[in-house]
Structure formats: structure tokens, C-alpha cells
Amino acid sequence: MTFSELIKERFSVRSYQDRPVEPEKISAILEAARVAPTAHNNQPQRIYIAQSREAREKLAAICKCTFSAPVIFVVCYDSEAAWHNRLMPGYQSGETDAAISCTHMMLQAWDLGIASCWVGMFNSDQVIEALGLPKNLTVSALLPAGYAAEDAAPIPMHEASRDSSELFFTL
């Protein structure tokens, strides 16, 4: 499959098989996050792998969008480790860097036959508290992942997209 085919085929999966993800596939997904480009190559992303029943139940108790996935990647960033743009006071790259890493993870996962869903509907402080993560982190995304259920399908709005004229502009 070409990269163009992969990015068009991938969709957010909200229903998973009760089947663990092999360690080598988890490692490959994490490697995709590790090599993702980050501002000034500061690599402020910090990724936690919630695989234990206890960790997944803690996340499910505070986020309704974990979908009983066998693994949930908790994608965080450390704003102190992020690049700070001296030309834009107050800007730091952590959120963007974590998002790029998460995108790499989703695409690598799909290429390996592992489905995922980018979840942003949670409270970062609650996730940090529930999992006992360092207080200096911000949770950017939860990424439930696993083998898609047999009946998994894209939601109707998956194919919806704005017209190119609304998105792209020539200067």
C-alpha cells in the first residue's frame, strides 16, 4: 500500500477486539513517535502505555472514549523540554510536537494492522492524577489502539471534507 492509500484508508476505530497487541507492534508504534520531527529536535513528547486492566479502567472512569481498547497510549508533553520561540513570547512547541508524534503513531499502527482513535475529550489534570504521572506534563491526546472489531467502520462524517478552495490559498 502506498502512503497516499494508507492515509486515505485509515479511519478512527471506536470498537476493538478483546485481543492484545503484540509487543513488537507496540515497539514499532513507539519508534514512529520517537523519530517524529519536533521543534529544535527537543523531543518533549512523553508517551505512557496503558495496558494493564487497572490503568485502562482508571482512564475509562474519567474518559468515555477509551472504547475498551487493549492498549491506550497516553501522549503527553513536557512544556519545559519543548522549544520556546523567543520571537513569540509565551509560545512553546509541546502541543504541536506531541500531535506530530501522535500522527506518526496512528499511521504506523494502521500500517501494522492496528487501529486507533485520536481522543481529546478528557481533562489532562484528571488523567495525570488517575495514572500518577509527573505533574509537569500535559496530556495532549489519548490514543486507544488495538485490533478493530469485525464490524468497525468509519462514522458517516469521516468522508466529509471542506472544499479545497476553503482550505488552500495561493499567495
CATH of the domain at 134: 3.40.109.10
Q: Is the pTM of this model over 0.85?
A: yes
Confidence at 155, pLDDT banded by 50, 70, 90: confident
Residue 134: what pLDDT? 97
Please compute the mean of the pLDDT values over residues 102-126 and round it to a whole number: 98
Using the predicted structure, report yes or no on whether residue 6 has a pLDDT greater than 90.
yes
Q: How many domains are contained in the chain?
A: 1
Using the predicted structure, report yes or no on whether residue 169 has a pLDDT greater than 90.
yes
Using the predicted structure, report yes or no on whether residue 159 has a pLDDT greater than 90.
no
Confidence at 139, pLDDT banded by 50, 70, 90: very high
pLDDT in tens, 73-85: 999 999 999 999 9
Task: Please state which of the ranges 51-55, 57-61, 80-84, 163-167 shows the lowest mean pLDDT.
Answer: 163-167
Helix (H), strand (E), coil (C) string for the chain: CCHHHHHHHCCECCCECCCCCCHHHHHHHHHHHHCCCCHHHCCCEEEEEECCHHHHHHHHHHCCCCCCCCEEEEEEEECCCCCECCCCCCCECHHHHHHHHHHHHHHHHHHCCCEECCECCCCHHHHHHHHCCCCCEEEEEEEEEECECCCCCCCHHHHCCCCHHHHCCCC
What is the residue range of 43's domain?
Answer: 3-167
pLDDT in tens, 30-56: 999 999 999 999 999 999 999 999 999
Please compute the mean of the pLDDT values over residues 83-110 and round it to a whole number: 97
